[in-house]
């Protein structure tokens, strides 16, 4: 074996004092005692599977003043995320084989963590989706407008889903109804205006349409960033082939208690009421939600420091997501098995990648966590190019060590590998 790692590891549903053997980047053995060419003993520290973020916007190409694959993936690594999946609303949009190939080449040169790339579904590429499926990690459909969203006529949804169902790819949705967004369009002066102009009925209507259009199809569909109690109630009765995710900002923040400048909390779909927040938080804790996803969507401080109506929507989160929920697990607000399911196992299952679990045959993507090492989140300690966080001063637990495919990439708060270490997955 190339490496053995010893500590209190989470596998088979509980924590065990054991050794994890790693060979050729894969977990090869899990036993009480193992010795490899190199042995690392982490004592009583926890060894967990690394996280998977199935929803990031690393802004590369076209908006690299906000983020790129280098800074975004470094932020992911320090947050315990070994694999991140990038959305298609870049410049140019990732809707063609050429743009998809170019983005993969760019990410392959820059990324510190493993990565996937989604293709955006638009009216003009429906006939090419089977060909694109051979190269992409999944598909994204925007049923409502957002930051450089890809316009899509919902009347073509059934046709698009029929084509995607012929592949094994996950299709993810931004579930806000465009007709209702247009009907409600107006000037926004604050965060309450923003949620009133993007009311929960937009999400509810869109989710109903997705459920209806996917009926009878052999399809894996995922509702991104659920934000409302109305959407949640619909999804409690969803078909088995439809999964859903929530973000830390929708489950931990509320519009009636904004912290700091309101433009920094402007996001689509909006952060809603305390009632929505608590409902989503409890659903996440109690098994109704499938995954936690960051929807990492950074903008610069200068862009956010504008009149509310002019400020862009979106906020960063890939680096703080896992640490926030590790701290909640330490405080027994969440159970560790639930956090690991939400951030590791279920995303891996949905994307059909060999990560997310400490199990023989899977990638040796691991994090080491010292529960005593609780810190306050500080923007100047984070690694995103945007330089701010909506969770400033929140308590969190960051991993002390991160491994990807058996290689140590974070140790003592220092990156241990070069740009381009990350590999493309999911095709």
Q: Which residues pair with 6 in a beta bridge?
A: 19, 41
pLDDT in tens, 37-78: 899 999 999 999 999 999 999 999 999 999 999 999 999 999
CA dihedral 151, 157, 159, 164 (to 10 degrees): 90
Residues 82 and 69 in one domain: yes
94-109 burial: b if 16+ Cβ within 10 Å, else e: bbbeebbeebbebbee
Mention every residue, 6+ apart, whose C-beta is less than 8 A from residue 318: 53, 56, 72, 75, 76, 79, 81, 84, 294, 296, 384
Catalogue the E-assigned strands of 158-316: 170-174, 220-223, 242-246, 291-292
pLDDT of residue 422: 98
Tell me, what's the pLDDT at 190?
A: 92
Shared domain check, 399 and 285: no
| DSSP output for 301-367 | HHHHSS-TTTSPP-B--TTTHHHHHHHHHHTTSS-HHHHHIIIIIHHHHHHT-S-SS--TTSB--EE
pLDDT at 425 over 90: yes
Choose one of 330, 351, 372: the last residue of a domain: 351
CA distances from 399 to 8, 26, 80, 187 (A): 14, 20, 6, 43
State yes or no: pLDDT of 259 exceeds 70.
no
Coil vs helix vs strand at 30:
strand
Structure tokens at 144: 């409502």
The lowest-confidence range among 121-135, 146-160, 178-192, 344-358 is 146-160
Domain final residue, candidates 351, 382, 404: 351
Burial class (CB in 10 A: 0-12, 13-18, 19+), 195: buried
Domain boundary (308, 334, 351) is at 351
Cα 126 to Cα 120, 122, 157, 223: the distances in Å are 10, 7, 10, 20
Query: Are 250 and 320 contained in the same domain?
Result: yes
Whole-angstrom Cα distance, residue 422 to residue 84?
Answer: 10
Are 56 and 36 members of one domain?
A: no
Residues 23 and 153 in one domain: no
pLDDT at 151: 75
Please report the pLDDT score of residue 413 as a whole number.
87
Q: How many CB atoms lie within 10 A of CB 261?
A: 16
Among 13, 84, 105, 48, CA closest to 365: 48
Is residue 214 within 8 A of residue 239, CB to CB? The reply is yes
Residue 58 maps to a domain = yes
Please state whether the peptide bond connecting residue 61 to the residue before it is cis, i.e. omega within 30 degrees of 0: yes
Domain assignment present for 210: yes
What is the C-alpha separation between 288 and 262, in angstroms, rounded?
A: 30
Task: Check whether residue 399 and residue 280 sit in a common domain.
Answer: no
CATH of the domain at 383: 2.30.40.10
What is the average pLDDT across 401-426? 96
Residue 36 is predicted with a pLDDT of: 80
Q: Is residue 148 part of a domain?
A: yes
- Asked whether the predicted pLDDT for residue 258 surpasses 90, the reply is no
Would 425 be classed as within a structural domain? no
Per-residue pLDDT, averaged over 327-352, amounts to 97
Q: Is 421 part of any domain?
A: no
In a domain? residue 427:
no
For residue 168, the SS3 value is: coil
At residue 256, the pLDDT reads 86
Q: Note whether residue 422 is domain-resident.
A: no
Q: Say if residue 426's pLDDT is above 80.
A: no
Residues in the chain: 427
Whether 367 and 312 map to the same domain: the answer is no
29 with 59, same domain?
no
Question: How confident is the model over 235-250, as a mean pLDDT?
Answer: 96
Give the model's pLDDT for residue 311.
Answer: 95
Is there a contact between 19 and 43 (Cβ–Cβ < 8 Å)? no
What value does the mean pLDDT take over residues 332-361? 97
- For the segment 140-178, what is each residue's pLDDT rounded down to a tens digit? 999 988 766 677 888 999 999 999 999 999 999 999 999
Strands of the sheet with 81-86, listed across from one edge = 51-56, 81-86, 114-120, 138-142, 170-174, 220-223, 242-246, 291-292
pTM here?
A: 0.97
Same domain for 369 and 289, yes or no, is no
The confidence score (pLDDT) of residue 145 equals 80
24: region left, alpha or beta (phi > 0 left; psi from -120 to 50 alpha): left
For residues 114 and 390, give the distance between their C-alpha atoms in angstroms, rounded to a whole number. Answer: 26
Q: What is the pLDDT of residues 281-331, one digit of tens each?
A: 999 999 999 999 999 999 999 999 999 999 999 999 999 999 999 999 999
- CA proximity to 424, closest of 100, 149, 171: 100
Q: Are residues 142 and 31 in the same domain?
A: no
How far apart CA 25 and CA 367 sit, in angstroms, is: 15
26 and 174 share a domain? no
Q: What tokens were used for 119? A: 């293709």
Domain of 298, in residue numbers: 51-351
Structural domain includes residue 423 = no
Residue 310 burial class via C-beta count within 10 angstroms: exposed 0-12, middle 13-18, buried 19 and up: exposed
Q: Do 370 and 280 lie in a common domain?
A: no
Band (269; pLDDT cuts 50, 70, 90): very high
The CATH number for 84's domain is 3.20.20.140
Query: How many independent structural domains does the chain possess?
Result: 2
CA-based angle 83:384:52, to the nearest 5? 15
- Amino acid 148: pLDDT: 63
Give the residue numbers annotated as catalytic, written as ranges: 295
Helix (H, G, I), strand (E, B) or coil at 199: coil
Helix (H) or strand (E) holding 372: none
Hey, CA dihedral for 166, 119, 343, 360, is it positive or negative?
positive
Task: Please determine, for residue 138, whether its predicted confidence score (pLDDT) is greater than 70.
Answer: yes
Section 242-258 average pLDDT: 93
Q: What average pLDDT does the structure give for the chain?
A: 95
Q: Rounded to whole angstroms, what are the CA distances from 287 to 11, 194, 322, 325, 427?
A: 19, 29, 17, 15, 29
Q: Please give the pLDDT value at position 336.
A: 97
The number of angstroms, rounded, from the C-alpha of 210 to the middle of its chain's C-alpha atoms is 21
Instruction: Give percent above pLDDT 90 in the chain.
Output: 92
> Of 231, 220, 271, nearest to 247 (Cα)?
271
Mean pLDDT of 263-288: 96
């Amino acid at each position: 074996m190339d490496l053995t790692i010893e500590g209190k590891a989470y596998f088979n549903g509980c924590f065990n004092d054991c050794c994890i053997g790693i060979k050729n980047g894969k977990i090869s053995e899990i036993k009480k005692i193992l010795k490899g060419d190199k042995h690392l003993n982490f004592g009583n520290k926890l060894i967990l599977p690394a996280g998977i973020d199935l929803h990031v916007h690393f802004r590369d190409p076209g908006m690299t003043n906000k983020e790129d694959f280098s800074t975004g993936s470094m932020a992911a690594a320090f947050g315990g995320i070994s694999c991140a999946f990038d959305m298609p609303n870049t410049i140019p949009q990732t809707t063609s084989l050429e743009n998809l190939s170019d983005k993969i080449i760019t990410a392959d040169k820059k990324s510190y963590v493993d990565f996937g790339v989604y293709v955006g579904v638009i009216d003009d590429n429906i006939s090419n989706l089977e060909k694109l499926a051979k190269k992409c990690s999944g598909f994204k459909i925007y049923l409502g407008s957002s930051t450089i969203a890809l316009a899509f006529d919902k009347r073509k949804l059934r046709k698009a889903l029929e084509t995607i169902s012929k592949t094994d790819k996950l299709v993810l949705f931004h579930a806000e109804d465009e007709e209702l967004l247009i009907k409600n369009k107006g000037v926004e002066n604050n965060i309450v205006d923003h949620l009133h102009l993007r009311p929960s009925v937009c999400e509810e209507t869109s989710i109903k349409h997705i459920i209806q259009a996917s009926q009878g199809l052999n399809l894996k569909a995922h509702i991104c960033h659920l934000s409302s109690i109305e959407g949640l109630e619909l999804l409690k009765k969803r078909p088995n082939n439809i999964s859903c995710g929530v973000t830390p900002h929708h489950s931990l923040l509320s519009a009636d208690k904004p912290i700091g400048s309101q433009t920094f909390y402007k996001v689509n779909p909006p952060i809603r009421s305390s009632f929505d927040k608590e409902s989503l938080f409890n659903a996440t804790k109690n098994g109704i939600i499938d995954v936690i996803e960051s929807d990492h969507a950074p903008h610069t401080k200068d862009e956010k420091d504008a009149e509310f109506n002019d400020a862009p929507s979106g906020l960063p989160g890939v680096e703080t997501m896992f640490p926030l929920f590790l701290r909640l697990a330490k405080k027994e607000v969440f159970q560790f098995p639930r956090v690991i399911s939400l951030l590791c196992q279920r995303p891996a299952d949905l994307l059909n990648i060999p990560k997310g679990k400490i199990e023989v045959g899977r990638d040796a993507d691991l994090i080491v966590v010292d529960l005593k090492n609780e810190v306050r989140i500080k923007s100047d300690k984070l690694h995103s190019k945007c330089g701010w966080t909506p969770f400033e001063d929140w308590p969190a637990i960051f991993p002390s060590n991160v491994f990807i495919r058996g290689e140590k990439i974070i140790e003592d708060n220092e990156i241990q590998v070069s740009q381009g270490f990350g590999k493309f997955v999911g095709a």
